[in-house]
Amino acid sequence: MNRRVFILILLDIIFIVISFYISTLLKGANFKGYFLNYLYGLAIFDGIWITTSLIYSKYIFTEYSSIKVTSNILKSNLVAFAVVTSLIFFTRQDYFSRFIIFGTIITTSVIELFFFNLWVILKRTQVLPEDILGKVESRVRREKKVQPITQPIDPKRAQSVHKAILSEFDKDVYSFLEANTALLSEKSLIIATTTTFNVLNQPDGYYDTIINLRKINDIRRINKFFEAINTKLPKGGTFVCMAETQEQRKERILKKFPPIINRIYYFFDFIVKRVFPKFSLTMGIYFFLTRGENRVISRAELLGRLYSCGFDVINEINLNKQHFVVAKKIKKPYFDLEPTYGPLIKLQRIGKGGKIIKVYKFRTMHPYSEYLQEYIYNKHSLQEGGKFKNDFRVSTLGRFMRKFWIDELPMLINLLRGDLKIVGVRPLSRHYFSLYTSELQERRVKYKPGLIPPFYVDKPNTLEEIMASELKYFDAYDKHPIFTDLRYFFLVFYNIVFKKYRSK
């Protein structure tokens, strides 16, 4: 028996005791009295529970799949339930309370499902690559005007293109495409497709521009589609796509249905088409119901996917109740990077001794937002505290979570693992660490980072003020470590509760 199995068996025994305690509370009985009277029965129950768990490989994770783990738990626990029920019936042990027994089994199962699936989520959580966070990439020079078309324009083609576009869209869309692409050139491919096959079937290296006039919401594998476009364009080639963004979808649904009904419809639409695809347990339900079509996609995810597939966003606009994006190919896609859709992320941060630690957080940004660091940096100025103003990458739920520090709750895992202490400077990425002075960099790696930073004591606004605040903390900590951490802890508590300090 390996160490992990042994630890999980011990945890399971603890879960059973906790479940037994909860069942006695619900029954309104005395826990101590029941526990002593049921001790022999609990020992037999534990033996049956652990035996069925080992038979059905509940403690062995051959693959980190929520469906597999959940299946093993349910099969094992149902068999244990059947065995225990049979023993009670055939041995005529009416002394035992059915409420306590069934309550213990059900509660233990719920705890196991939560804990074991949380374990799977943590193991499957991907580390966001440092090379795409805060890294300034070389870009193809952006030009406001398209280079003049040297070849003559075929009148028949011009008429055909004009008629085709106006049959589906208004004049504003046509004008936008004409202004941002060589629309009438023979080197421009205009398609309306959701299948990668129709792209890969085109000749290599012939077209300088590809315009797809079908919503990417209906494309099942969006990245594969964008990667196919990338292979067909030369470096500097133009790609135009369109989508109904999450914001536009919400507006459409709320206008389409009467009040109250529209909110109910939008809620279930959001759950099925936005939340379900993020979890392996519900992803199959999502694809069964929708076949991957009419999916919800945010503006941040749309742009982030383009950047991850080797494109640089040149222009974007809302037209005809759709979001049009003009992008330029600048490099090959990040084929090996697959940003997670899940609620948990792991971030590479610098810990004590310069060691790289993986910090857990709840995701507060839309998927693929990590690819937009430079785009946001170029488009938005920094606000006080060093964060971006009007950062559209942050979701509505993410703003709420940031305001009340809910997104940082998973960092308690790092606290238990010993990566962090309660009070201390925040763990930084390599990028932000490089912005600090060499003096402060040397001081920082001498100490373990913390959950509660000195930032909420001094409330600095600029990078210089943040560094001064951290140096002040280090100087005080060197003299009186325990007293300093206690003082900062209660000062932060006072500022949050009474002065209403909030994260942004």
pLDDT digits (tens, 9 = 90+) for 287-304: 777 777 888 899 999 999
pLDDT bin (cut points 50, 70, 90) of residue 496 is: confident
Asked if residue 337 belongs to a domain, the reply is no
Residue 97 domain flag? yes
Are 316 and 365 found together in one domain? no
Higher pLDDT, 66 or 489: 489
Q: Are residues 362 and 471 in the same domain?
A: yes
Residue at which a domain ends, from 124, 140, 166:
124
- Interval 458-478: pLDDT, tens: 888 888 899 999 999 999 999
Residues 317 and 380 in one domain: no
- Do residues 102 and 217 share a domain? no
306, 325 Cβ separation under 8 angstroms: yes
Q: Using an 8 Å Cβ cutoff, are 362 and 346 in contact?
A: no
Is residue 273 domain-resident?
yes
Residue 146: is its pLDDT beyond 60?
A: no
Domain end position, chosen among 313, 329, 345: 329
What pLDDT, in 10s, does the model give residues 167-196?
A: 889 999 999 999 999 998 889 999 999 999
The answer to whether position 316 is within a domain reads yes
β pairing state of 356-362 and 344-350: antiparallel
Looking at the structure, do residues 258 and 407 belong to the same domain, yes or no?
no
Q: Are 21 and 42 in contact, with CB atoms under 8 Å apart?
A: no
pLDDT in tens, 305-350: 999 899 999 999 999 899 999 999 999 887 655 556 677 888 889 9
CB atoms within 10 A of CB 196: 18
Residue 124's pLDDT band, with cuts at 50, 70 and 90, is: low
pLDDT band of 129, cuts 50, 70, 90: low
Contact by Cβ (8 Å): 80, 48? yes
pLDDT score of 306 = 93
The number of beta carbons lying within 10 Å of the beta carbon of residue 439 is: 10
Q: Which residues pair with 212 in a beta bridge?
A: 191
Query: Does residue 84 contact residue 101 with C-beta atoms inside 8 Å?
Result: yes
**How far is residue 435 from each of residues 150, 429, 447, 448, 464, measured CA to CA in Å?**
47, 10, 18, 19, 10
From 84, 108, 124, the end of a domain falls on: 124
On whether both 104 and 168 belong to a single domain, the answer is no
120 and 229 part of one domain: no
d(CA 273, CA 288): 11
- For 391-421, write each residue's pLDDT tens digit: 788 888 888 888 888 888 889 888 988 999 9
Whether 144 is covered by a domain: the verdict is no
Q: CB within 8 A of 306, min separation 6: which ones?
A: 226, 239, 241, 313, 325, 327
Q: What is the pLDDT of residues 414-435, one digit of tens each?
A: 898 899 999 999 999 887 888 8
Same domain membership, residue 462 and residue 422: yes
Helix axes 39-55, 3-27, angle to 10 degrees: 140
CATH at 217: 3.40.50
Helices (H), 233-298: 246-256, 261-270, 280-290
**Do residues 274 and 404 share a domain?**
no
Whether 137 is covered by a domain: the verdict is no
- Contact, 266 vs 249, CB < 8 A? no
Domain identity same for 366 and 323 = no
Across the chain, mean pLDDT equals 83
* Res. 197 pLDDT band, cuts 50 70 90: very high
Q: Is 412 within a domain?
A: yes
Q: Mark whether 196 and 321 lie in a shared domain.
A: yes
Query: Number of structural domains, the chain?
Result: 3
User: Residue 416's domain spans which residues?
Assistant: 353-497
Which pLDDT score is estimated for 245? 94
- Rounded CA separation 14/29 (Å): 20
64 neighbors 123 (Cβ within 8 angstroms)? yes
Whether pLDDT at 446 is above 90: yes
133 within domain boundaries: no
171 shares its domain with 313: yes
CA atoms within 13 A on the CB side of 499: 13
Which residue's structure tokens are 């994770």?
61
pLDDT tens for each residue of 64-91: 677 888 888 899 989 988 888 888 777 7
Give the pTM.
0.66
The pLDDT of residue 63 is 64
pLDDT at 122 > cutoff 60:
yes
